Structure 1
Amino acid sequence: MPKPKPFLICLLLTLITIPIHSIPTTSKLEQRTFIIRVNYEAKPSIFPSHQHWYQSSLNSISSSLNPPKQIQILHTYDTLFHGFSAHLTDPEANLLSKQPHILDLIPEQVRDIHTTRSPLFLGLQPSSNTSSLLEESDFGSDLVIGVLDTGIWPEHPSFNDRDLTAIPAKWRGYCPSDFPCNKKIIGARFFCEGYEATNGKMNGSTEIRSPRDSDGHGTHTASISAGRYVFPADTLGYAKGIAAGMAPKARLAVYKVCWTSGCYDSDILKAFEQAVIDGVDVISLSVGGVVVPYYLDTIAIAAFGAVKNGVFVSASAGNGGPGGSSVTNVAPWVTTVGAGSIDRDFPAEVLLGNGKRVLGMSVYSGPGFRPGKLYPIFYAGNRDGGGGSEGGDGYSGSLCLDGSLDPDLVKGKIVLCDRGINSRVAKGQVVKDAGGIGMILANAVFDGEGLVADCHVLPATAVGSASGDVIRRYIGSSLKKSVVPTATIIFHGTRVGVRPAPVVAAFSARGPNPQTPEILKPDLIAPGLNILASWTQRIGPSGLTVDNRRAEFNILSGTSMACPHVSGLAALLKAAHPEWSPAAIRSALMTTAYTVDNQGGIMKDESTGNESTVMDYGAGHVHPQKAMDPGLVYDLTTYDYIDFLCNSNYTINNIELITKKKRDCRDAKRAGHVGNLNYPTISYVFVQYGQHKMSSHSIRIATNVGDPTSVYKVKINPPMDTNVTVEPEQLSFRRVGQKLNFLVRVQVESIKLSAGSSVTKSGSIVWSDGKHTVTSPLIVTMQQPL
């Protein structure tokens, strides 16, 4: 969903080491979950297993408490991480930290969950004339995508196994006896121990202790990555067509880790570990949280272990846009995906009583407004007579919060609601409960002009921030003249061939990378705005419990929807190129991405209508067909990532927490800096400490995956007011798999900046052999210290 919920728990910004660092809490007896790293090799032989040893460690502190109590292990981790998780008070955590084999305690973070046309928009369809990615990869057959989300609705036609071959022999996963797995959904598990430790046992009315999806989000994301072809498909009559995921023959393994109050780190880490043990090829994670150092980020730690085992990990960039430095899931071994639009929308305009028309967006099917008839319009935020003190609850009334609208003032009217706090569709239910007949949902200034189509429970449409101001002014001016303001909503159904497209979705999280600005994030964007995909039968398309409608498909927006597009594409690329590493797959997607829309201009920023930048879209919008044959890739191994961590000035203990390996960083630090990571994008950060001229350099290693004999020449598009050189200017390859180095040197002159401010400029470096074009964004950031 484009607006993330408030987090229920905050992650510490400093690592708890031995002796344990101070743990700020509101109460010493308040419990929370810790993920505990253990010296795995120190297990005494008296214990038959590590789990017995871990439980003994907890029992030893339990017996010292007054009164004694039993503390149980939530999860044991043996593959990507060595240790366990437990729900502890601060005194218990301090006691545990004093045991010699306990290395670290990481407080748990709670994360939030962040199609009929997108395959066509991406150019992803079988072709009788040329070799397509779908055909080259056999539609992803035998590749396994692990989806960590809210579960799945297995009976949906998108998950049928008709004509699929036998389950791949490599698969080691599990499916409960009471869950209808098949040759499409080949694994299904759920992890709720961390969730229940904080929230108590589920009552069964709204949650299911099963991989079955009662929310819809997981079913939606799973079908985007690997849904089968389904016809006909639509949502309430909108977006009619053939539904399909990116890799229609790929197998799905479902790991339910998200529940009504969020997705808990201890469960996510266990699911990552199990997915790798089971044998997935790709992990798709449409959840996120606050950005912290990588050694405190459970997702970063888990993803490192997965990538080390050859598993591609894609994660949503977050929905905190359009503000800067809002991107999440920023570890360089994770492919971070932002959201763009496709060339389809669902216009629903507002016609005001003064004849003005205001563009809106909606998915609504039901009793509409009578053609040609205008209805009274009400806004609780107008204190000059349109509501406010008369309209009930003032500020909360303008936001249409639960119980804030006076039925005597709202009945029979269209209500203008401001976006914020409660969900967009919930505002419509509040209006409906108060007797309103329709709703106009206006963006806040921060949201800009980005429009999201929701399945509303009454006639409703969303309008941009400026359009909301137009409507408010009309209401205010009418009331001053003692004229009843009126309006109606006109629904235009589905529109295709929209221009410009793609645009960067307003909600899509933006760079710069708040943890490591030298690594550009997000990496790229993919379709994430108004995406139709499969839906659960446990809840209506609005997602509200009072919505009794049922739909096989639903239209949702968010980087949650963009992430599984890339997950599915990664499965296709892995099937077409089984020898490629996760880093090579990401490189192929990034260096072939595009930044030009279907009108021939730079992609627009939906929130402003202006040109977007690399901080909005990263390397650009995915281009699957070109990614199949990128020519060159920038590959990486776990050793490269460890060097990166060394150059990030992490301690040996910090690095071991992520990698499970001790590393002497002296050689790595002599070799370069964080920007030397062999990443497909190149970014420099210059801090102006009084010097007039500054320079830096980066080394990149290109691997030939194209024609055996090929010569690539470089084209430099330098950022404004910078001097960029590349040595050598030509790379001559003699075989597939050959690696050649080149050096990029950047020189800049200081500029006048106010204290604490910065400015970013972008360009690119393009290698071409006449057939392939390999593009790397080049970013220069100038900072003035405080």
Structure 2
Amino acid sequence: MADQQLIRLLEAIREVSMDFQPNSPVKRQQKSLARIHGVVSVFPSKALHLHTTRSWDFLGVTKNVKRNPSVESDVIIGVIDTGICPESPSFSDEGFGPPPKNWKGECAGGDNFTCNRKLIGARFYAQDDSSARDEYGHGVHTASIAAGNRVPRASFFGIAEGIATGGVPSARISVYKVCDARGGCQWDDFLAGFDDAIADGVDIIMCSLGTELYGLHWVEDPVAIGTFHAMENGILTVHSAGNSGPGIATTASTVPWLISVAASNTDRSIIDKIVLGNGKTLTGSGVNSFILNETKLPLSWDWGYQPPPKSCKGGSARKGPIRKLTNLHHQYVIVRRECNPGCLDKKKVKGKIVVCDGNFHNYNPFDEALRAGAAGAIAVGKRNTSSIEPLPASTIRYNGGYTEMQLYFYSTKNPEGTILKSEATIDSEAPSLTPFSSRGPNMVAPDILKPDITAPGIDILAAFCPEITPSGYDFDKRKTNYIIMSGTSMSGSHVTGAAAYVKTFHPDWSPSAIKSALMTTAWPMKETQGAFDVYGVRDHEFAYGAGNLNPVKATDPGLVYEATKDDYLAMMCSMNLTFFGKCPKHIKLGSPKDLNYPTMTVQVKSGKAFEIKFPRTVTNVGISNSTYEATILISNTTDPNYEVLKASVEPRILSFKSLDEKKSFVVTVAGKLKLLGSIVSASLVWSDGTHHVRSPIAVYTDLGPK
């Protein structure tokens, strides 16, 4: 179907109120549109959600890493996001030549927008928009992580100062603004952006937004549709897994023809220290640029109306669960307070540092502290992700200084403290997964592992637009060219840069070959590195996929698992899905697990013995004359009382005589998992002594409550 025809159809759909009631005129129009030749699916346009510089050094992509500058300059990354700020130093075109010869796009950036030889293309789509300029601050950040220039002395008001750089600083960027100033992104704009990026001739597409509809059928999923179209045209799409963790089955990035990215940290963390009146220092998290000059202010914890006013949304002003603590022979009754909206007494907290104690699932406690006139705020909760607030603020965890603060607070008549400016510190345990990163298993295709890989997504310093407030509050007048953000959007940007880096060494590689190279060379994650779901159960590969990104190794993977459009169609035919195309006659797959994927996953029934076979084919891209031997490693976390797994591969030796030669093998796993929610991990490693081609294996039962 022609791109412009598809766009016209999407625009026609958008003009109609999508009130899908039975027998409504809209319902009849939907059926009429569906009969048009070439229409894959007709569905209501809904909202997508954004999945928001030490990191590249941490990944091994240092200043002196091997590069192909001339080839890198010909790589074009399409950024489908909230736009960009063309004046940012990260997108200066100093030293750049003309755009690559395969570039077919244009600079249609609208008002007050100019492209250059680095930022070679721009488009925007929202009806009430007039420019591709970023008004939200997300697209400029992600674009610079992937392909921003090297900019010295970058920082957020002195925090994390250093050289800001993208993974492929010589690459070109084309921007497709599909989201508005509030971060709202419509499906039809998203698909139009994909079509334009493909027609413009981009090489890699970065997409850091998606639905929050877990298990959304692929025929109704704009990400599935847009990325399939890209794959058909030889373009790899990198997609963020989402920020809805740590619950199981929370990723909406489910299709196998894109690479789904989870978020982990680097060995640099941003911390925000709290100094109590007794001299003790607590370490919290937060990106705080404010300086209180170590002035100690009163701490307010026992505040709130009794009974709460009507404006109080929630129970934070009421006495919550009572918790008793015994320390140094003192027993204190601790009453939780949560800073719910409208619940703080301005008279009691104005000019003080207020302490907010709760889980904060659906609101930001710092908003309420700000409304009540607090001079600063300390949040106590389960999550430990840094955020930028318009007042001095820090977050501590229940197991990270909470008890010390409680004991101090209730042992003195006039508790006081201060919040220091944030600083960078070393995290020797990195990489570890972040709780907010969305998890598998895959709700649409349970035998396809998702996410695929993890990459840095915590406390990432990258470009920002100085005209945008860093905290989201209009009265916050701070202006900065660089900001610190966290999210799977940031991790997806690192994988985008890595994919482009691999492509500079292998311009002719297919999207699946690049994806395979990134996955099979990833660093294995340790079982202790944050892979727990909301119930405290290890979620293994469903948290981090094949492991942590290793870009330099990915340029020389040795072997790759390749899949074509026909392979994906055959896989969908095994699921009785034919909306993307006809079933290929020359390829038959019994189930999705038979897809030639770099990982091997299967869901089995608890309490029943199983024997599963995974057929796979690898292509030699390493050394022409080479011999690979297989090793299978079973995770040492397996409980033999409840989980039994044996695995083998046939043949165990693969001998190649030339490059691009293909060899097939079959992995067999057998055993019994007695309990619901069981996950057993293993890995297959092919090695010729130089290359180590690793494929995770995950066998699991129904994981229970979602």
TM-score by length of structure 1 reads: 0.79
Equivalent residue, structure 2, for 1:581: 510
Q: Distance in 1 between matches of 2:314 and 2:700?
A: 44
- 2:683 is aligned, of 736, 743, 764, to 764
Q: Which position in structure 2 is the counterpart of 1:428?
A: 366
Name the structure 2 match of 1:644.
571
Distance 1:487 1:170, change over 3 A: same
How many residues get paired? 664
CA distance in 2: counterparts of 1:171 and 1:111, whole angstroms? 28
1:175 to 107, 114, 120: 107
Task: Report if aligned partners of 1:400, 1:431 keep a CA contact under 8 Å in 2.
Answer: yes
Matched, 1:215 2:215: no
1:108-257 superposed matches below 5 A: 108-114=45-51, 116-127=53-64, 132-133=65-66, 135-136=67-68, 138=70, 140-176=72-108, 178=111, 179-193=113-127, 202=128, 208-257=129-178
User: What CA distance in whole angstroms lies between the structure 2 residues aligned with 1:606 and 1:374?
Assistant: 38
Report if the CA contact (8 A) 2:50-2:210 is conserved.
yes
Aligned partner of 1:570: which letter?
A
Q: 1:607 to 1:378 in 2, by over 3 A?
A: farther
How far, CA to CA, are the matches of 2:500 and 2:442 in structure 1?
26
In structure 2, the CA distance between the partners of 1:347 and 1:629, relative to structure 1 (3 Å rule), is same
Equivalent-residue separation in structure 2 for 1:440 and 1:419 (angstroms): 13
Distance 2:184 2:11 in 1: 24
Residue identity opposite 1:742 in structure 2? F
Contact kept in structure 2, 1:696 and 1:746, CA below 8 Å:
yes
**2:269 — aligned with what?**
345
Aligned to 2:221: 297
1:722 corresponds to 2:662: no
Q: Tell me the SS of whatever aligns to 1:360.
A: strand
Aligned to 1:464: 397
**Counterparts in 2 of 1:119 and 1:606: CA distance versus 1, 3 Å:** farther
- Aligned residues of 1:379 and 1:415 also touching (Cα < 8 A): no
Separation in 2, partners of 1:394, 1:704: 60
How far apart in 2 are the matches of 1:504 and 1:703?
31
Contact 2:560 2:618 survives alignment (8 Å)? yes
Look up the equivalent residue of 2:652 and give its one-letter code. E
In structure 2, do the counterparts of structure 1 residues 487 and 642 end up closer, same or farther at CA, with 3 Å as the change threshold?
farther
Check if 1:438 corresponds to 2:367.
no
Correspondence for 1:16? none
Aligned equivalents of 2:11, 2:686: Cα separation in 1: 43
| 2:330 corresponds to | none
Deviates more, 1:111-120 or 1:323-332: 111-120
Report the 3-state secondary structure (helix = DSSP H, G, I; strand = E; otherwise coil) of the residue aligned with 1:111: strand
Decide whether the 8 Å contact of 2:238 with 2:261 is kept in 1: yes
2:598 to 680, 687, 704: 680
Q: Report if the CA contact (8 A) 1:337-1:522 is conserved.
A: yes
Out of 573, 576, 583, the residue aligned to residue 663 of structure 1 is 583
Quote how far apart the aligned CAs of 1:490 are. 4.5
Question: Judging changes above 3 Å, is the alpha-carbon distance between structure 1 residues 120 and 734 closer, same or farther for their aligned structure 2 residues?
Answer: same
In structure 1, distance between residues paired with 2:703 and 2:344: 49
* CA spacing shift, 1:485–1:704, aligned 2, 3 Å: farther
- Tell me how far apart the structure 2 counterparts of residues 210 and 186 of structure 1 sit (CA, whole Å): 15
CA distance in 1, matches of 2:236, 2:645: 35
Taking the TM superposition and a 5 Å limit, the aligned residue runs for 1:697-708 are 697-708=613-624
- Cα distance in 2 between the residues matched to 1:433 and 1:615: 40
Report deviation, 1:766.
Answer: 0.3
Distance 1:735 1:50, change over 3 A: closer
1:414 equivalenced with 2:353 (yes/no): yes
2:193 aligns with 271
Identical aligned residues as a percent:
38
**Which residue of structure 1 lines up, in the alignment, with residue 332 of structure 2?**
none
- Separation in structure 2 between the aligned mates of residue 606 and residue 761 of structure 1, nearest angstrom: 14
Contact preservation (8 Å) 2:303, 2:348: no
Q: Is the 8 A contact 1:391 1:406 kept in 2?
A: no
Q: Quick one: which of 162, 179, 184 aligns to 1:262?
A: 184
Shift in alpha-carbon separation, 1:318–1:126, aligned structure 2, 3 A? same
Cα distance in 1 for partners of 2:232, 2:16 equals 29
For structure 1, the 5+ residue unaligned runs are 1-39, 42-48, 55-74, 194-201, 203-207
How far the C-alpha of 1:338 sits from its partner, in A, is 0.6
Q: Distance in 1 between matches of 2:632 and 2:395?
A: 43
8 Å contact from structure 1 (residues 429, 457) kept in 2: no
Superposition deviation, residue 403 in structure 1:
4.2
Q: Matched residue of 2:16: which SS?
A: strand
Q: Provide the rounded CA distance (Å) in 1 between the counterparts of 2:132 and 2:472.
A: 18
391 and 312 in structure 1: CA distance in 2 versus 1, 3 angstrom threshold: closer
For residues 219-270 of structure 1, give each alpha carbon's deviation from its aligned partner in whole angstroms, at most 9, with x where no partner exists: 1011111100111100011000011011101111100111226211111011
Tell me whether 1:615 sits opposite 2:518 in the alignment: no
Report the equivalent of 2:557: 630
Q: Is the 8 A contact 1:602 1:612 kept in 2?
A: no
Shift of 1:109: 2.9
- Does structure 1 conserve the Cα–Cα contact (< 8 Å) formed by 2:132 and 2:177? yes
The structural deviation recorded for 1:783 is 4.3
Taking the aligned partners of 2:427 and 2:402, their CA distance within structure 1 comes to: 25
The offset of 1:409, in angstroms, is 1.1
Q: Aligned pair 1:359/2:283, yes or no?
A: yes
Cα deviation, 1:659-709, whole Å, max 9, x if unaligned, reads: 2x33378x755x422101111111122124x75x32110111011110111
Structure 2 Cα separation of the partners of residues 459 and 678 of structure 1 = 51
Aligned residue for 1:697, secondary structure, equals: strand
Could you say if the C-alpha distance between residues 266 and 487 of structure 1 is closer, same or farther in structure 2, counting changes exceeding 3 Å? same
Any unmatched runs of 5+ in structure 2?
318-336, 639-643
Task: Provide the C-alpha distance between the structure 2 equivalents of 1:642 and 1:110, rounded to a whole number of angstroms.
Answer: 28
Amino acid at match of 1:405: L
Aligned-CA RMSD value: 3.1
Q: Does 1:307 align with 2:231?
A: yes
1:460-487 CA-to-partner distances (Å, cap 9, x unmatched) read 1011244485378548x72xx8x54624
Amino acid at match of 1:412: G
Q: CA deviation at 1:296?
A: 1.5
2:604 aligned counterpart, secondary structure = strand
Q: 1:140 deviation in Å?
A: 2.5
Q: Is the 8 A contact 1:629 1:706 kept in 2?
A: yes
What is the distance in 2 between the residues matched to 1:783 and 1:366? 48
Alpha-carbon displacement from aligned partner over 1:341-398 (angstroms, at most 9, x marks no partner): 1111222233445666432012222331535x352222547x8x9x967996663665
Q: Quick one: distance in 2 between partners of 1:221 and 1:411?
A: 37
Q: Within 1, Cα distance between the matches of 2:302 and 2:405?
A: 8
2:326 alignment partner in structure 1? none
Alignment check: 8 A CA contact 1:284 1:313 kept: yes
Which of 321, 329, 333 lines up with 2:253 in the alignment?
329
Give the aligned partner of residue 107 of structure 1.
Answer: 44
1:392 and 1:406 in contact (8 A); partners too: no
8 Å Cα contact 1:604-1:610 kept in structure 2: no
Cα offset, 1:429, TM superposition: 4.9
Distance 1:380 1:365 in 2: 27
Structure 1 CA distance for aligned equivalents of residues 703 and 240 of structure 2? 31
Is this contact kept in 2: 1:461–1:489, CA < 8 A? no
